Every structure is written in structure tokens, then in C-alpha cells.
């Protein structure tokens, strides 16, 4: 099985082309391939498959092997893969995900290779039941208790669930402690991605993200969208803002039509081949 390793702002993925729709990777195989010590190493795996109502289907798995609804950085990596290999004509494409169909537009460098992409992420979901979060009040001001501290969280779905926590000093946040504590709260029945965000100006936010099933990642596309949506609704940011993540910056535009556009870089790192029939299950503790 051939694969490509790509990343969007440091959020990295193993991509497998399966336009014949023949592969069904198990959770154990996905976790083993994504393992950074004994596998290829990635935040997730993307199987590029056919779709009846779109150009491609992004069959996305988190690093722990669990299927996920949507990945904003991953869908840009898919767009680069098919764009650079001539698997799709033109710079606009429709990609089906478990969260619905997303429109993607690619931008090319002077050599004709895709180096950036813009994704229409659709409208944010603010209804508690659909996020989902077990909220008795306003999901945009959801009290959560973690590590003995009560926090005022903003819950949003961008196809997958997010819990945005605005902070005064991002450098002082223990993401490795608070992130998993937030992810596992019982009020999030599907678990949740946790964003810690510091507003520098209405048009610029710093953020770090703890992703469910992955841990802290260098960037999260849907997370950046959730930060701007939550920030705009709270009056902390403009509807158009840059989100600076450890791996790079994503440009977010929550349009007047209600759709969230995300633009960011994409890069292919290397290609390789692995015998999937002999791929090991994830090592103990994964």
C-alpha cells in the first residue's frame, strides 16, 4: 500500500488513495500507522475514496483509530493530493465528509503545485443537542469544572464538537493537563476538542488545541473556525480573523451569508510504501 505524508500548518496526516474503494482499515491498523515511534507518525489517517454525490470522500480517522466527522487541515491535504496528481480537473472541488459535503478551492505556486487551499466549512452549529453538549443554559457560556477550576467555555460544532476557552495568557495554560480533562467531561457525549485562545486584537488570536483522539496538535482547522465564531459571538474578535497556532496561521472568515471560510497552507512531506496486510496493531497503551 502506497501512502503520502502531508501536513497543513503542522497538523500531519497519512493519506491513502483508495478510489477503487477496496480498503477498510481497522482502528488498530490506523493507530499503528499513526504511531510516531513504531509507525509512520501522524495526527490522523485519510483514506481518499469515491463519493456518489461529490468528487471524493474523505474517510478520516483520528490517531487513536476512531472515525471522525471532519478535519479542516486534512481536507486541504486531500485537495493537494488529488490536485497535484491530476485526479481532478480545475481548482474547485467538492469533498464529502461525515459532516457533509465541503467545497474546496486550491491555489497553486509558480510550478503549478497546490500550496494553499480554501475550504467552505459551512455554518457553525450552536444548538446544544447537535454540538453535542449536555447544557442546561447557553452553550456559548457553558460553565465547566476542570482540575478544580471553573471555566466559562463556548461550545460550537464545525462538523465536530469544540469547547473554546478564552484566556488572558496562553503561555500560562497547562494544555497537556486541561486538554484531556476537558475532552473527557461527561457533558460531552461524543468527547470534544478543546481550544485555549488568547485574543491579541479583533483580527488576531493565538490558540492551542487539544484534539480528541490525538492530543495536542500543531494546528486544528475546525478548531480555528470555532475560535473565531465563539470570539465574534462574544464580541472579542471580528468575524474575519487570523488564528496563530503553533504550526502556522489560518485565515478564518465568517461571512455575512453565515458560512465559515478557512484558508491555509498545505505541504507534502514524503511518500512511501507499507504492506498493509502485515501492518501491526497498535502497541500496548496506544
Q: Is 220 one of the annotated active-site residues of the chain?
A: yes
Which one of the listed residues 34, 155, 163, 220 is annotated catalytic? 220
Which one of the listed residues 34, 71, 163, 225 is annotated catalytic? 71
Q: What is the DSSP track for the chain?
A: -EEEEEEETTEEEEEEE-TT------HHHHHHHH-TTTSS--SEEEEEE--SSSSEEEEEEETTS-B-S--HHHHHHHHHHHHHTTSS-SSEEEEEETTEEEEEEEEE-TTS-EEEEEEE--PPB--TTTTT---SS-GGGEEEEETTEEEEEEEEESSSEEEEEE-S-GGG--HHHHHHHHHT-TT-TT--EEEEEEEEETTEEEEEEEETTTEEES--HHHHHHHHHHHHHTTSS-SEEEEEETTEEEEEEE-TTS-EEEEEE-EEEEEEE--GGGPPPPPTT-
Q: Is 71 one of the annotated active-site residues of the chain?
A: yes
> What amino acid positions are annotated as catalytic residues?
71, 220
Amino acid at each position: 500500500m502506497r501512502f503520502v505524508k502531508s501536513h497543513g500548518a503542522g497538523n500531519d496526516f497519512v493519506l491513502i488513495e483508495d478510489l477503487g474503494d477496496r480498503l477498510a482499515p481497522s482502528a488498530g491498523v490506523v493507530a499503528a500507522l499513526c504511531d510516531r515511534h513504531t509507525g509512520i507518525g501522524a495526527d490522523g489517517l485519510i483514506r481518499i475514496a469515491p463519493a456518489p454525490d461529490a468528487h471524493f470522500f474523505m474517510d478520516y480517522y483520528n490517531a487513536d483509530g476512531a472515525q471522525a466527522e471532519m478535519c479542516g487541515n486534512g481536507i486541504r491535504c486531500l485537495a493537494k493530493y488529488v490536485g497535484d496528481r491530476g485526479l481532478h480537473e480545475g481548482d474547485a472541488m467538492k469533498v464529502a465528509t461525515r459532516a457533509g459535503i465541503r467545497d474546496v478551492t486550491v491555489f497553486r505556486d509558480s510550478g503549478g503545485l497546490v500550496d494553499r487551499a480554501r475550504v467552505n466549512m459551512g455554518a457553525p452549529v450552536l444548538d446544544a443537542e447537535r454540538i453535542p453538549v449536555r447544557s442546561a443554559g447557553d452553550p456559548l457560556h457553558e460553565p465547566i469544572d476542570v482540575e478544580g477550576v471553573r471555566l466559562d467555555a463556548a461550545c460550537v460544532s464545525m462538523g465536530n464538537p469544540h469547547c473554546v476557552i478564552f484566556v488572558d495568557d496562553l503561555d500560562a495554560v497547562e494544555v497537556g493537563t486541561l486538554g484531556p480533562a476537558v475532552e473527557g467531561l461527561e457533558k460531552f457525549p461524543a468527547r470534544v476538542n478543546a481550544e485555549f485562545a488568547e485574543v491579541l486584537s479583533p483580527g488576531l488570536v493565538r490558540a492551542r488545541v487539544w484534539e480528541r483522539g490525538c492530543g495536542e496538535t500543531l494546528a486544528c482547522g475546525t478548531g480555528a473556525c470555532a475560535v473565531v465564531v465563539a470570539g465574534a459571538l462574544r464580541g472579542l474578535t471580528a468575524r474575519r480573523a487570523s488564528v496563530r497556532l503553533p504550526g502556522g496561521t489560518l485565515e478564518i472568515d465568517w461571512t455575512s451569508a453565515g458560512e465559515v471560510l478557512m484558508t491555509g497552507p498545505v505541504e507534502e512531506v514524503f511518500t512511501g510504501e507499507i504492506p498493509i496486510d502485515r501492518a501491526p496493531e497498535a502497541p500496548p497503551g496506544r
